[in-house]
Amino acid sequence: MDNNDLTRPDLYINRELSLLAFNKRVLEQAKDPTTPLLERLKFLCISSTNLDEFFEIRVAGLKEKLVSGALQTGLDTLPPQETLNRISAEAHQLVDEQYRVLNEELFQALAKERIRFLRRTDWNPKQAQWVHRHFTHELLPVLSPLGLDPAHPFPRILNKSLNFIVSLEGKDAFGRSSGVAIVQAPRSLPRLIQVPQSYSRGPYDFVFLSSLIHAHVGDLFPGMKVTGCYQFRVTRNSDLFVDDEEVEDLLRAVEGELLSRRYGDEVRLEVADNCSEEMANFLLHKFELDADDLYQVNGPVNLNRLLAIYDMIERPDLKYPPFTPGRPAIVAVDHNIFDAIQSRDILLHHPFESFLPVVDFLRQAAADPNVLAIKQTLYRTGPDSAIVSALVDAARAGKEVTVVVELRARFDEEDNIKLATRLQEASAHVVYGVVGHKTHCKMILVTRREGRRLRHYVHLGTGNYHVRTARLYTDYGLFTCDRAIGEDVHRVFQLLTSLGRVKKLKKILQAPFTLHKELLRMIEREAEHARANKPARIIARMNALIEPQIIRALYQASQAGVKIDLIVRGVCCLRPGVPGVSDNIQVRSVIGRFLEHSRVFYFLNGGDEDLYLSSADWMDRNFFQRVEVCFPIEDQGLRKRIIKEGLELYLSDNTQAWVLNKDGEYRRTKPASNQKPRSAQEALLEHRAD
């Protein structure tokens, strides 16, 4: 086998199958008895939500390539149809396992804790009466059954909505007897209803909306006999299409596409496992889907709606212990944050440390008479965010406020349109970045007059300016007033809001201009050190590794003798451990309480270490189709801290880490007989949280 040919397909793992493997690792958390019970249910729901998005975006994209005649999809050169076939086999196994875990493990464990999901066969006469009253008063007035006949064609089915196909016998008031009807459950109806205490045998008894409708669907068709009622859900292509060459008003274009997302091309059909073959085939025909696109499930077709249970149940003993994020004394609530940043660079490690100093930074900037201007990028933040409120206050206080809002942040487009409107109403300048490139970098620039000079204060982050997810995702944020970095950030904002050519940056690496090239240079530099028999080391932590030139550069560095550790949460197309190619590369993924989101890049550089934090993963889109920043950590203390907390701690994790083998399979690490269990996230909670 030619180890010099680094384009060989067998050296690359299929992107889509790697993404499904990540979702399997998430599902494993739902099976882990050491995870609190309601958290296990939560992980099951997350795996279901992830799978929805996988079909809405990745499978939908493959089906489009198939229609367009594309011959291959990625580095592994699998043709679209073969990829879809393998996805179907893997996804069907994954879905079967999701429902097995739900029915055989979680429902039984929850029942022991007096949390029960009552099937129709479990209802006693008193409960059955309550169900009927609830159906009559709460559901019957809002349900609209649709009989199918020439005057009533098959209705448009909303993406991921709950529906029922009903088979009937008899004739209606007009003598019609088509035999089939559709019942659509409005999204406003809760999918789980708690049974009142007076009708329950325990504190937490629930019934599914689908059970109520199944039990009394006959009330929707008086005088006719229901011979079958089966729930179903269709998943549609949900990727937005905006023609970058034709668009004149990005806001209007995105608003228009949001409407079409609800009714994109069908990609998957889920039905109850008791659905008759005749009805399943009828639905497949209506949605123009194949048998491989059919998923028959033993339970509710919308597993992710079970997530509502988490907040409905007051059982702290079945959840992760609460924690209070730490807050460094230098950014205490009553401190002037500008004085603090002047004294030294400040690093925050979320969620172990609080995100509130970032909000305080903007609030103090809004109230400070010496602050002249605030500029910020927003990718995901939420329309009612404290961040947005601070920017609104600053604009109303007469500051020059400029906000770059990325309208095309997937599945957050509607929220971003709302917050853009709110900012504009407060007289802030709102721009939507660069058409053709998503603005994915996370930056705040505050310009303050201090005596005769203007000083830039900067916040740079690896994650979004979203207060809620800052408690759920691991990310880094850096405050600095370093002059060169401030000037670099100012130039990046100029590029985003104005017109002109790229100005050379002093310290920051920027996509789509310098980031990819510089990373390749630093990887090759380590390879040169190794060839000269000098110590060489690369450690990189990210969410995804896909870009082919970077992977080939890592292979070449490994062949030169560079020791490489990659901590990749999700998709990894690099195949480690291949003799003569990637012997020196190890890949691990950490799945735990918090979603791993940080991007950290370390290069030994002959002892003169380089350490960068970034908003960018190592993917084609991040390098070439997005505006990203990658910024150096130059403070020696902060550098040592990140290497220890963000890299070495994760490399020593032996409880929540999964190691990727050369066959593409992941193996969960376990402590050796002479080792203590080590969890990076738990260690950081103990060390950084209050």
Q: Is 166 helix (H, G, I), strand (E, B) or coil?
A: strand
- Residue type present at position 89: A
- Please indicate whether residue 440 is annotated as part of the active site: yes
CATH superfamily, domain 329-507, is Endonuclease Chain A (3.30.870.10)
Host H or E run for residue 341: helix 337-343
Residue 422: phi, psi to the nearest 5? -60, -40
Query: What is the per-residue pLDDT for 147?
Result: 82
Q: Which residues of the chain have pLDDT under 50?
A: 241-251, 253-258, 261
Per-residue HEC secondary structure of 92-151 comes to HHHHHHHHHHHHHHHHHHHHHCCEEECCHHHCCHHHHHHHHHHHHHHHCCCCCCEECECC
Domains 329-507 and 511-688 share a fold: yes
Residues 387/462, Cβ–Cβ less than 8 Å: no
Q: How far is it, in rounded angstroms, from Cα 50 to Cα 39? A: 16
- Residue type present at position 55: F
Domain ranges within the chain, ordered by starting residue: 9-318, 329-507, 511-688
Residues 545/650, Cβ–Cβ less than 8 Å: no
Q: What does the block give as tokens for 677?
A: 């269990």
Residues 115/317, Cβ–Cβ less than 8 Å: no
CATH superfamily, domain 511-688, is Endonuclease Chain A (3.30.870.10)
Query: What is the per-residue pLDDT for 243?
Result: 41
Query: pLDDT per residue over 400-439, tens digit each?
Result: 999 998 876 565 667 777 788 888 888 889 888 777 788 9
- Residue type present at position 174: F
Active-site annotation holder among 440, 459, 490, 597: 440
Q: How far is it, in rounded angstroms, from Cα 294 to Cα 290? A: 7
Residue 681: phi, psi to the nearest 5? -65, -40
Query: What is the per-residue pLDDT for 257?
Result: 47
Among 616, 620, 639, which Cα is nearest to 628's? 616
Query: What is the per-residue pLDDT for 409?
Result: 54
Query: pLDDT per residue over 259-276, tens digit each?
Result: 554 567 899 999 999 999
Query: What is the per-residue pLDDT for 169?
Result: 84
- Is residue 61 exposed (0-12), middle (13-18) or buried (19+ Cβ within 10 Å)? middle
CATH superfamily, domain 9-318, is Polyphosphate kinase middle domain (3.30.1840.10)
| Helices vs. strands in the chain: H and E counts, helices first | 21, 27
Query: What is the per-residue pLDDT for 291?
Result: 95
Strands 204-208 and 115-117: parallel
Q: How far is it, in rounded angstroms, from Cα 512 to Cα 498? A: 17
